Amino acid sequence: MKVVGVETVVVGTPWRELTFVELVTDDGLRGVGEARMVNKTSTLLACIEELAQRYVLGMDPFDLERLAWQAQWAEYGRAGEVTQTALAVLDVACHDLMGQATGEPVWRLLGGRFRDRVPAYANGWYQGDRDPEVVAGLASEVVARGYRGLKIDPFGAATAELGHGELALAVDIVAAVRDAVGPATELMVEMHGRFTAATAVRVARALERFGPAWIEEPVPPYNPAGLRQVRAGTWLPLATGERLHVLPEFRELLEGGLVDIVQADLTHFGGFTGLRKLAGWAGAYDLLLAPHNVCGPVGTAANVHLAVATGNYKVLEHFNDFADPWVADLVEGAPQVDPADGCFTLPTGPGLGVRLDREAAARHPRTSVHFNLVEEGWERRDVR
């Protein structure tokens, strides 16, 4: 089995573009991968084309260690977000082909079943006014759909610092959400790397009484010294890693005890091949994974397969019930959260178990959207 074609499709939404890649083999199989690239879709497409021409066309889709080595070493330049995302969509599509060729779901190729159900938490649900009562009402709807966890960034368009009034509003929002969802629902607080270390500590201490499951990216990803300061200033668990893209970037965090929840994104970390290595390394430090996932149905399906086969997988992020729910129609077999327990069920079909619907994708052309987290009203996720 050899790859003879590489096809890309971009689907546009009001706040994200989803890039799908299909690899076509000489025996007629089609494997699919997906990523959401933040604001640089055209750059990603160019990288996919370059890597495909050099390394993918003619390859055996089982030869994934070689593909990863080529993307990270034979290219010479440092592998970052763009390269690792291109590699990821190709790697995931190859795994889909491997599963189809063997007649097995991908999770069986990753080590077999560790769990039957994959816990999920909701994101993208707080698309209203930054008013405690409004946000609390939206949070109640999340819980009513069966989710046992939800995440929120209550900090508006803040960067670096947070004034007293804005901090008070953020605290009131989190308090209202906690009251609405009760003590048994996990509440994650997203900081999006917005703050200086001193501000992050001040915010974290103000939120400690609500018992969040973690605070996420309290400082920018290039600032492990700041993360060390936050670690010393609060007992809250620290989650980070969505903007780290290769294994060595985690070295200081793991060896320095600066992270509790590892959040690398499967679709920005070289796919299954890269994230499985990180999972093993995190396991050596007794750390759990909660990968960042802002993908549509294919990237989410890939994460479900990884979670099924990974012992130290904690929970999977999910946007698609609240932000652009129509993306489920882009594929056959889209993964769904079971409202009975807030979990994804065990995939059973060969490969990823999803197939891209080209006609459905064509109904949603590119939007070329610029998603700006430091613009007022970003959380509404609409076209501005």
Instruction: Encode 365-382: b = buried (16+ Cβ within 10 Å), e = exposed.
Output: eebebeeebeeeebbebe
Q: How far apart (Å, rounded) are the C-alpha atoms in residues 299 and 318?
A: 10
Q: 4-36 pLDDT, tens per residue?
A: 999 999 999 999 999 999 999 999 999 999 999
Query: What stretches of 163-226 adopt beta strand conformation (E)?
Result: 186-190, 214-216
Which of 95, 192, 245, 268 is labelled catalytic? 192
Q: What's the rounded mean pLDDT across residues 299-321?
A: 98
Q: What's the pLDDT tens digit per position in 168-207?
A: 999 999 999 999 999 999 999 999 999 999 999 999 999 9
The whole-number pLDDT of residue 383 equals 47
Distance from C-alpha of 117 to C-alpha of 139, rounded to nearest angstrom: 23
pLDDT at 357 (0 to 100): 98
Going along the chain from its start, the domains and CATH numbers come out as 3-105 (3.30.390.10), 108-351 (3.20.20.120)
How far from each other are the two terminal CA atoms of the chain, in whole angstroms? 46
* Strand partners of residue 25: 3
Determine the pLDDT at residue 358.
97
Q: What is the DSSP string of 69-80?
A: HIIIIIT-SPP-
Do 254 and 277 contact (CB within 8 A), yes or no?
no
- Say yes or no to pLDDT of 67 above 90: yes
Q: If you search the block for the tokens 């790859």, which residue do you land on?
A: 3
- Judge whether 164 counts as a catalytic residue: no
Tokens linked to 17? 């573009």
Q: Which of 107, 34, 54, 68 is nearest to 245 (CA)?
A: 68
H or E element at residue 97:
helix 81-102
Q: Is 2 left (phi over 0), alpha (psi -120 to 50) or beta?
A: beta
| pLDDT tens sequence across 331-351 | 999 999 999 999 999 999 999
8 A C-beta contact, residue 291 and residue 81: no
CA distance 211 to 215: 10
- Please state the pTM of the whole predicted model: 0.97
Query: What pLDDT, in 10s, does the model give residues 234-245?
Result: 999 999 999 999
- The single residue of 245, 292, 318, 364 carrying the catalytic annotation is 292
**Active site annotation includes 370:** no
pLDDT at 351: 98
Least confident of 61-65, 111-115, 321-325, 377-381: 377-381
